[in-house]
Chain A
Amino acid sequence: MWQAYEMPTSVEEALAILARYDGRARLIAGGTDLILELQQGKRQVECLVDVTRIPGLDRIERQGDWIVLGAGVTFRQIKDSPLLKEHARLLPEAAATVGALQIQTVATLAGNVVNAMPAADGSVALVALDAEAEIAAQQGRVWKPVIELFRGPGESAVDPSREMLTAIRFPVPGPRHGSAWERIGRRKALVLPILNCAVSITLNADHRTIEQARIGLGPVAPIPFRARETEAFLVGRPAEEETFTQAAEIAAGEAQPRSSLLRASKEYRTEVLKVLVRQGLTRAVAQAQGMS
């Protein structure tokens, strides 16, 4: 499958190894998706560069106006993080729905983003937090919006044979903010989602109308989807059931889930999508109002 295995202890060393292999090596973090893709022959590499021994990449911390997660942060750490539970509850909620505990223990959020699957729970969650990712290449480091990194199913703008996603950050949400993660699959563990939905809401000072809304959905498009029409509709409207029901219709209209042989029909997914959006809005608003 692969001919060499390297374990660098710094980002610079990892990049240098990638450069030496000139496109024939690839970074591996948790590897829960990558190992399967390599075994099934969907990807080929000469060398795997294991980044899990690079110190300092496993931090979740607040830096000024940002919450920053190092590239080594696993779903298990996210699920248990008090900082994330306080400021962005949808992320620990999403992490808890990834695979099963044994997967959460090794799989990383950064790997989830680079793997670029449209259903990826971590990626869909980040889209609703307006997250950015730091990309390190030999020329230097830049921050880019996470949503711009997705090119198509399994195709990322980050090239893990030449560069490394080193950190993820999102703005610390202000007061009157709430968020929620909704997901439906055949069972609660070890299944890909039939649909998932991330909601992030900020209320106006009156606690009754919506100031800002962000909604991520998957898998309804080749990449994690942001429901911008629904978000625009929500702004300024009263945070109440009537609004949520209308928003759910708009979301179903703009997302247009398709039939998937393995998962579910278009009709079923359309109905479920509305329910998830409504539930997500209800829970996020309740949290923003301090009621949960």
Chain B
Amino acid sequence: MEVKTYPLTMTVNGRQVTVQVEADELLVDVIRDRLGLTGTKIGCNEGECGACTVIMDGQAVLSCLIPALRAQGREIITIEGLSDGETLHPLQQAFVEHGAVQCGYCIPGFILSAKALLDVNPHPDREQIKEAIAGNLCRCTGYVKILEAIEAVAQRTDG
């Protein structure tokens, strides 16, 4: 049987896009290879590391485990959708200020996991933050500065 292709329409970072995809493409590959948004990383490609985390309809998901066609009509946010032009998103700014970035490979995933949390719970405690990022692995930082960066944003009163 020939591999079928289907039109996939979704909103990515606020913009509606339609791409033709094959039946068995995964969301991460469509985001990276068809849309050129390579800020979403592939670490393990098997649901173990969180590097491919994106936000789908408000919730953090692993794009390496999501069949692309499931995103039909959905709203996707990738790391490219966070900054406002040259102005970094508060989480991005905090990661920079707290020295929470080393090689950087895991960082888009961490920031999106953190954003998904803060969007529904702007002032989480440390345990809640840990729960939200437990599915993201980092081989460089030792996590402490990442936690501190997210906490700094969570403690801001201006939201």
Chain A contact residues, CB within 8 Å of chain B:
1-5, 7, 28, 31-32, 35-36, 39, 46-48, 50, 52, 76, 99-103, 105-106, 188-190
Can you list 9 pairs linking A and B with CB atoms under 8 Å apart? A3-B1, A4-B4, A5-B23, A5-B24, A32-B65, A52-B70, A101-B132, A102-B53, A190-B135
Task: Contact check, B47 vs A99: say whether CB atoms are below 8 A apart.
Answer: yes
Given contacts A1-B24, A46-B1, A103-B47, contact A190 B134 (CB under 8 A): yes
Smallest Cβ distance from B103 to chain A, in angstroms?
A: 20
Query: How far, in whole Å, are A28 and B132 apart by their CA atoms in the complex?
Result: 25
Task: Contact check, B65 vs A5: say whether CB atoms are below 8 A apart.
Answer: no
Contacts of B134 in A (CB 8 A): 100-101, 188-190
Is B86 an interface residue, CB under 8 A from the partner? no
Task: Contact check, B59 vs A105: say whether CB atoms are below 8 A apart.
Answer: yes
Is B67 an interface residue, CB under 8 A from the partner? yes
The contact of B65 among A35, A46, A52, by CB within 8 Å, is A35
Task: Contact check, B47 vs A32: say whether CB atoms are below 8 A apart.
Answer: yes
Contacts of B144 in A (CB 8 A): none
Contacts of A105 in B (CB 8 A): 59-61
Query: How far, in whole Å, are A4 and B53 apart by their CA atoms in the complex?
Result: 25
Task: Contact check, B50 vs A35: say whether CB atoms are below 8 A apart.
Answer: no
Task: Contact check, A7 vs B72: say whether CB atoms are below 8 A apart.
Answer: yes
Task: Contact check, A48 vs B3: say whether CB atoms are below 8 A apart.
Answer: no
Contacts of A31 in B (CB 8 A): 65-67
Smallest Cβ distance from A80 to chain B, in angstroms?
A: 11
Task: Contact check, B135 vs A99: say whether CB atoms are below 8 A apart.
Answer: yes
Query: How far, in whole Å, are A105 and B62 apart by their CA atoms in the complex?
Result: 10
Q: Which 10 A-B pairs have the closest CB atoms?
A: A100-B135, A189-B134, A1-B24, A5-B23, A3-B1, A5-B69, A102-B62, A102-B135, A2-B24, A105-B59
0/1 per residue, B14-53, Cβ < 8 Å to A?
A: 0000000001101000000000000000000111101001
Task: Contact check, B4 vs A5: say whether CB atoms are below 8 A apart.
Answer: yes
Query: How far, in whole Å, are A188 and B66 apart by their CA atoms in the complex?
Result: 23
Task: Contact check, A3 vs B24: say whether CB atoms are below 8 A apart.
Answer: yes
Task: Contact check, A106 vs B65: say whether CB atoms are below 8 A apart.
Answer: yes
